[in-house]
Copies of this chain bind each other. A is one copy, B any other.
Amino acid sequence: MDETLRAKLSRTPVAGLAAQLRKRGLDNVVIEGLHPLGADAKIVGTARTLRFLPNREDLFASHGGGYNAQKRTFDAVEPGEVVVIEARGETGSATLGDVLALRAQVRGAAGIVTDGGVRDAEAVAAIGIPVHCLGNHPAVLGRRHVPWDSDLTIACGGATVQPGDVIVADRDGVVVIPPALAEEVADAALKQENEDAWVAEQVRAGHPVDGLFPMNPQWRAKYEESQ
């Protein structure tokens, strides 16, 4: 992702991006149900995907231990990427802990998004890399998962994520943007933000939302004039 786009997306609320995507017919692009683990909720990056499957003892024996798909992914994540983990909304174990969160940070990853749990949650939050997750759980991943493969199109929090998709997160949630749309959507969202900020000023000044939100031609004329 080029730095201009990253800078724009960093200034754009996820709510604004979701609204613009909806206007373009993309209504199923929010990774839902997660919350930011620590104080810093903002993520802007491109998806590096990782898929966990339900724990099955024979497959865990062959795929679960050692240098598994999870660890390979955290060693491979590139600067500006976001590790996005499919964990099927399973809250009965962790999907990462502090060592891997640290590895991601050292690699320059932009954040981690998992629809599963996190262990060492306090330590992970202290590292500072933004993490959106479903909950804390002390158990290692093997209690519920086999780390299986990476760099596939996956499901996370009810949304489909492809490797390379643009991921933006803040306190409102996590949105997935098809890369080809990212610039257009960011520009439109920033423009709308500007309008909404001006609308908010008028509301703060005591104007009703009737005619103003959304703007009728009279209000729009005033807005245009003010710019």
A155 to B116, CA, bound (A): 15
**At the interface, yes or no: A47 with Cβ under 8 Å from chain B?**
no
A35 to B196, CA, bound (A): 27
A209 to B73, CA, bound (A): 10
Residue-wise interface mask of A (39-59) relative to B, using a CB-CB cutoff of 8 A (1 in contact, 0 not): 000000000000001111111
Q: Which of B88, B149, B172, B196 contacts A138 (CB 8 A)?
A: B172
**Chain B binder among A3-11, A140-148, A219-227:** A140-148
Q: Which of B67, B91, B173 contacts A137 (CB 8 A)?
A: B173
Residue-wise interface mask of A (54-80) relative to B, using a CB-CB cutoff of 8 A (1 in contact, 0 not): 111111000001110001101100000
Q: List residues 102-130 of chain A with CB under 8 A from any CB of chain B.
A: 102-103, 106, 119-123
Q: Which of B28, B58, B71 contacts A210 (CB 8 A)?
A: B71
**At the interface, yes or no: A182 with Cβ under 8 Å from chain B?**
no
Contacts of A30 in B (CB 8 A): 92, 137-139
Q: List residues 168-216 of chain A with CB under 8 A from any CB of chain B.
A: 170-173, 175-176, 178, 196, 199-200, 203-204, 206, 208-211, 213-214
Minimum CB–CB distance for A226 against chain B, Å: 17
Minimum CB–CB distance for A206 against chain B, Å: 6
Q: Which of B26, B99, B121, B203 contacts A99 (CB 8 A)?
A: B203
A103 to B119, CA, bound (A): 32
Interface size class of A (residues with CB under 8 A): 35 or more
Q: Is the CB of B175 within 8 A of A138?
A: yes
Q: Is the CB of A106 within 8 A of B203?
A: yes
A99 to B213, CA, bound (A): 8
Q: Is the CB of A155 within 8 A of B88?
A: yes
Contacts of A32 in B (CB 8 A): 91-92, 137
Contacts of A217 in B (CB 8 A): none
A59 to B26, CA, bound (A): 10
**At the interface, yes or no: A14 with Cβ under 8 Å from chain B?**
yes
Q: Is the CB of B140 within 8 A of A170?
A: no
11 of the cross-chain contacts (CB-CB < 8 Å) are: A26-B57, A56-B176, A71-B210, A75-B208, A102-B204, A103-B208, A122-B170, A136-B171, A138-B173, A146-B160, A148-B153
